[in-house]
Every structure is written in structure tokens, then in C-alpha cells.
């Protein structure tokens, strides 16, 4: 661990496991609040998915991220106004955070029963 990383780690008054879950929550919140509202259509969905992934993977402790945007909400391009704004119910995200020997998998997807774009921890692994 580098000095800068050690200084940051010393500020956290929690376990590495708790910190990994915290980091996952921060990243999920970033995805949701930074990108919801973006204009998107069938021609730009792949670019937006990759852009979200690339903006998240550069952040600390991100081991992997996959983003899928549900295209069933898109309209046919009939005129210049035929696009939608990205909403939480379109996002399907799987994020993997790793700090030391702890790996956390967090997911975001629209839950039809809850009628809510739920973010949750789906797995926590101790890699020892």
C-alpha cells in the first residue's frame, strides 16, 4: 500500500469489509446521480454503457463493472425529438470492488415488485 492510500485508509474507522461495501455504495450512487437524465437513443446506448463503465473503473478499488441499459424504453427515431432521458428503471449494473482480501459485488436493477431501481450488495467474499 502506498503512503497516500495508507493515509486514506487510516481515516476509515471500520473494517476493510465495511469499507469495501461503502466504496460500492459510493460508486453506485455516482452512476445513478451522474447519468440519470442523460439523453439516449438506440444509436447511442452502447456508447453510453461503455462511457459509464469507463468513468467508474478509473475510481479506487473497482475491479470490474458492467452496465446494461434496457432499450425497451426507446422510441423509433421518427424525428429530431425521438430520444428519451435515461432513468433508473433502465439501468442494470454489476460492480465489483476489491480492497485487500475482500471482494464485494454490488448490483443495481429495477425491481418490478418494489417499483424501484434497487442498489444492493449481492455478494461479499473473503479471498483468504
113: domain CATH number is: 3.30.1300.20
pLDDT, residue 124, reads 98
Q: Which domain holds residue 18?
A: 3-126
Split into its structural domains, the chain has a count of: 1
pLDDT, residue 73, reads 83
pLDDT, residue 74, reads 80
pLDDT, residue 101, reads 97
State which residues of the chain have pLDDT below 70: none
pLDDT, residue 12, reads 94
Q: Whose grid coordinates read 422510441?
A: 75
pLDDT, residue 1, reads 74
pLDDT, residue 57, reads 97
pLDDT, residue 121, reads 99
Amino acid at each position: 500500500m502506498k503512503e497516500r492510500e495508507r493515509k486514506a485508509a487510516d481515516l476509515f474507522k471500520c473494517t476493510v469489509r465495511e469499507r469495501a461495501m461503502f466504496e460500492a455504495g459510493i460508486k453506485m450512487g455516482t452512476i445513478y446521480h451522474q447519468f440519470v437524465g442523460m439523453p439516449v437513443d438506440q444509436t447511442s446506448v452502447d456508447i453510453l454503457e461503455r462511457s459509464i463503465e469507463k468513468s467508474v473503473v478509473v475510481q479506487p478499488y473497482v475491479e470490474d463493472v458492467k452496465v446494461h441499459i434496457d432499450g425497451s424504453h426507446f422510441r423509433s427515431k421518427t424525428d429530431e425529438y425521438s430520444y428519451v432521458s435515461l432513468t433508473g428503471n433502465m439501468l442494470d449494473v454489476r460492480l465489483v470492488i476489491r480492497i485487500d482480501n475482500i471482494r464485494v459485488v454490488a448490483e443495481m436493477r429495477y425491481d418490478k415488485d418494489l417499483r424501484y431501481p434497487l442498489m444492493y450488495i449481492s455478494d461479499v467474499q473473503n479471498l483468504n
